[in-house]
Chain A
Amino acid sequence: MRIHLPNSAFLGNIDSFLRSQDLTEPQQLIITANRKWIAIHPVVLAMVAALGQNAAKTVCEELEAASKHYLERMGLFAFLGIDSGISIVAHEPAGRFIPLTRVEDSEGLTRFLTEMVPLLHLAPAEAEPIRYVVSELIRNVLEHAETDGAIVCAQYYRKSNRIAIGIADTGVGIRQTIRRSHEAPTHLEAIRLALMPGITGTTRQEGGTEYNAGAGLFFIKSLATINRDFFLLYSGDAFYKLLKSGAKTPRLHSDPFEDRHAAKEGLPSWRGTVVGIDLSLDATASFTELLDSIRETYTTTIRERKRQKRRPRFI
């Protein structure tokens, strides 16, 4: 595997980074980087860390970029077991970030959520949606990915007043999970189904099972839609990216393809799932208002789907 950390890779322009990965020969990971400056979204760090944990050998070229200390501060080299030789000030005052962390089980998730809020210096109203999103995304990995946990990290950006979160796993991926109960001929179709309300890989039954409703990703996409944030889901050879809505009052859609989005197939195949999200702290809609919109869209969708139930064929 070869990963080149580019000059810039955030959710808006991450496509070329995703295309550039060489994910063949998984026993070895070679990391190279832009020589001048590396500015990357936490999701890129989570991906590199996830690949590194499965590689027998990881090699990182000597980094020259002035911003290389950021990778050290986020714990990338410690995670990969590499001595970078980079020294950093441990407690930078501007540091509002969560370094790379592996969450392996339910108790670990509860601990992580408790520690996350003070690390990001969040006010209670800001913490609410962020804690919600992180909890649901990591729990998805713990329940469905069939792997040894989720790798997560986050960063606050003062200029844009947003929190960027990246979560990656190297599990079975969305398609394998969804195909247990639904037809998904491609990875992109599986991603589409996973984002629809009430669709879960655990059952075809409306309302889900006693344990899974198939609502988690729809809630998170809805939050990003209303707040005009980016949201990326990458699994297998496909990604779906929710783009920022230009509408004055963005509408929620049960079909993610009706949202303003980018979707691509034929990318290097990621074994597992990658999620990146930006959450603006300037969000105008309150979490409670958002839940009203979700409730309406969700129940309407289930009602519509019930109407479309198959009829008996009489010949």
Chain B
Amino acid sequence: MKIDIRQEAGSFAENKDVARMLRETRIEPALASEEEIILDFDGVEGATQSFMHALISQCIRNHGPEALDRIAFKGCNPTIRKIVEVVADYMQEA
């Protein structure tokens, strides 16, 4: 399953309500059914840590670090990539 982040959250992904909606309605159900998920950041210029936290933190908490084996982050620019890494890191330390 692929989620087009630009289409859902715009070119600056900061709306946490959108992130939470995507996680609850699409990412979590896909993880529960052991489906592969592609979060497509093509065309997204920036994202906040808050957005990324609302998007993926609970997946890591609920499913363990293995959640990251089933989620692929596509088309991330260097900044978005770092933000994904920050959230993934601290959630695995927590």
Contact = CB atoms under 8 A, between A and B. Distances in A.
Q: For chain A, what secondary structure do more than half of its interface residues adopt (helix, strand, loop), or is it mixed?
A: helix
A54 interface: no
Contacts of A302: 90, 93-94
Interface string A5-47: 0000000000000000000000000000000000000000000
Interface string B1-44: 00000000010101111001001000000000000000000000
A298 B86 contact: yes
Interface string A117-143: 000000010001001100110010000
Give the interface size bracket for B toward A: 20 to 34
Contacts of B48: 132, 135-136, 139, 216
A306 interface: yes
Nearest to B82: A291
Contacts of B57: 207-208, 210, 213
Interface string B71-92: 0000000110011011101110
Contacts of A160: none
Contact of B10 (A110, A216, A295): A110
Interface in A263-315: 287-288, 291-292, 294-295, 298-299, 302-303, 306
Q: For chain B, what secondary structure do more than half of its interface residues adopt (helix, strand, loop), or is it mixed?
A: helix
Given A198-B90, A215-B53, 18 more contacts: A113-B12, A132-B46, A135-B50, A205-B94, A206-B94, A208-B53, A210-B20, A211-B53, A213-B49, A213-B50, A213-B57, A215-B90, A216-B49, A219-B49, A288-B79, A294-B86, A295-B85, A303-B93
21 contacts: A106-B15, A110-B10, A113-B14, A131-B14, A132-B46, A136-B49, A136-B50, A197-B90, A207-B61, A208-B53, A210-B23, A210-B54, A213-B53, A213-B57, A215-B49, A215-B90, A216-B48, A219-B49, A291-B79, A295-B89, A299-B93
Interface of A: 106, 109-110, 113, 124, 128, 131-132, 135-136, 139, 197-198, 205-208, 210-213, 215-216, 219, 287-288, 291-292, 294-295, 298-299, 302-303, 306
